[in-house]
Amino acid sequence: MVSGPLDLLDATAFDLQHDLDEGKFTSVDLVKRSLEQIERFDKQGPSLRALVSMAPRDKLLEIASELDNERQSGHVRGPFHGLPIVIKDIINAHPDLKLPTTQGSAALLGAEYTKGSVLVSKLREAGFIIIGKGNISEFGASKGEKSTGGLSYLGGQSRSAYVPGGSQPDDEPFARTNPGGSSTGSALAVAAGYAPVSIGGEAYGSITTPASRSALYSIECTPRTINSEGIFLIVPTFESIGGIAKSVPDLTHLTKVILSAASEPRELRMDLPQAWDNMKLGFVEPGKWKLPDKLFASDPAYLRQIRSAYEAAIDEIQSMHADVQYPVSVPHPSEIKYKGDDGKIKIFLAEMRNSMNEYLATLEQSQVRSLEDIIEFNKNHPELQAGLDQLNLIQAHNDTTTPEELDDARKVVLKSARDEGLIKILDDLGLHAIAAPTDSPISTLAALAGCPSASVPLGYLEPSGRPFGLSFIAHPFREDTLLQLLGAFEATFPKRRLPPLLYRVSGDI
């Protein structure tokens, strides 16, 4: 039994592990508390809709009991032994958990796989208990023009734990009240205390945006690093996996586990000093890097608040003896072309059909086996679309790009974004990282350049209360540099606020 109050909203993985080591409660107790938290906040009360599916209660308690027995026998696997975790609904769990991989789509209801992902194997080896899958923007917000952050047919519309009333239907898709990108459920699950950490997936801000909008820390690993077996990717060239956490120590150790699932062995340096001394950072001009109006046509007061907090952060970081250059000019994603057209769209459409078909072919059982089948299912079931169109799916299906053209497009975009763009600026100016508001297309540049990115909580918009963040991009494979920056930030800036909507409901539990 748990002795005394346990505030899952505030507790980090390190806090929980310490209490488990001290015998204050067991992993069975912790799983029961997590399930109570989900019951309290996800489908009733504030109705966050962070989860699209949950593992069976009896299976979770069985796994927790096994891990408790290991602990009692003197074997602790590491800092996450016996702790809950939520994974994005693009990642195969172990089949015994009965967690389908659906991308939030009704077309994949009933689909079954016989093999989990390499990533989940590593998570389980680390002692994690996978309690459920995070809600997602259906097909990673790639379904059609009406896609919005955290909306899928199976999961419904996820709602911010910070904004009274949740996402407003008359708001822009990713603006003032929206909880973020396609890993919204993974972020909300951590903010609401369902699990101390979670796994997301990102192409263009799908981890960093929702993490920042829940006042959390996040990192997206270098694209094409993590073994993709058992992961339902849509644009493999740009997509990657990463972690979300309440603290940088938690995120650092989670990243180490994630990188253990790399296609080629990767070690994460854990000994770098988390201080601003000797760090060289370039900050972009926020006016040039605001989100497109169709996504964030926010009133000027919001943009002023973000700029004010951004420039105050620059001043504070500079006062801590970092070498800061502001503003620095890096290529905007809209400037990166392939034969005169948008380079990322060319690759996105060309890759989508093949990557979706490849994943669907691995399923043991499914009512759809191809992108064409999904399109046909959606046409036949308009009532199962959550108001979303499927223009992007249709365009991808009809795309005529040849393999040779796709390969050429990848090379041209990578050269423009990385070799002649981001990396050139980093190297020419001797910078460790580029920084920008998280509410910006900076994550898209990171994806095009094949670089890792990370975000930190920076402030809270008024009057909505919605958090916003600051993002960093570093050289490929320098996740350690990003975590060093995040640690310095956490030590310098105020502690993140707990979600006020949940704190009033929860109290001591």
Q: Tell me: the pLDDT tens digits for 257-311?
A: 999 999 998 889 888 888 999 999 999 999 899 876 655 556 688 889 999 999 9
Structural domain count, the chain: 1
Q: Per the domain annotation, does 478 fall within a domain?
A: no
Q: Per the domain annotation, does 427 fall within a domain?
A: no
The H or E element spanning position 303 is helix 300-319
Q: Per the domain annotation, does 459 fall within a domain?
A: no
Q: Per the domain annotation, does 315 fall within a domain?
A: no
Cα angle 363, 364, 367 (rounded to 5 degrees) comes to 70
Q: Per the domain annotation, does 453 fall within a domain?
A: no
For 95, the token pair is 């089949």
160: left (phi over 0), alpha (psi -120 to 50) or beta: beta
- What range defines the domain where residue 73 resides? 13-272+499-506
Which of 125-129, 144-148, 245-249, 419-423 has the least mean pLDDT?
144-148
Alpha helices in 361-494 (DSSP H): 371-380, 391-398, 403-414, 423-429, 442-449, 479-492
The H or E element spanning position 201 is strand 197-202
CA torsion, ordered 492, 207, 191, 216, to nearest 10 deg: 0
Per-residue pLDDT at 508: 44
The H or E element spanning position 200 is strand 197-202
> Beta partners for 467?
460
Q: Per the domain annotation, does 51 fall within a domain?
A: yes
Q: Per the domain annotation, does 106 fall within a domain?
A: yes
Distance CA 238, CA 224 (A): 8
Q: Per the domain annotation, does 215 fall within a domain?
A: yes
Per-residue pLDDT at 458: 98
Distance CA 244, CA 246 (A): 7
Q: Between residues 70 and 302, which one has the greater pLDDT?
A: 70
Which of 33-42, 157-166, 220-229, 389-398 has the least mean pLDDT?
157-166
Per-residue pLDDT at 295: 56
Q: Can you give the CATH number for the domain in which 223 is found?
A: 3.90.1300.10
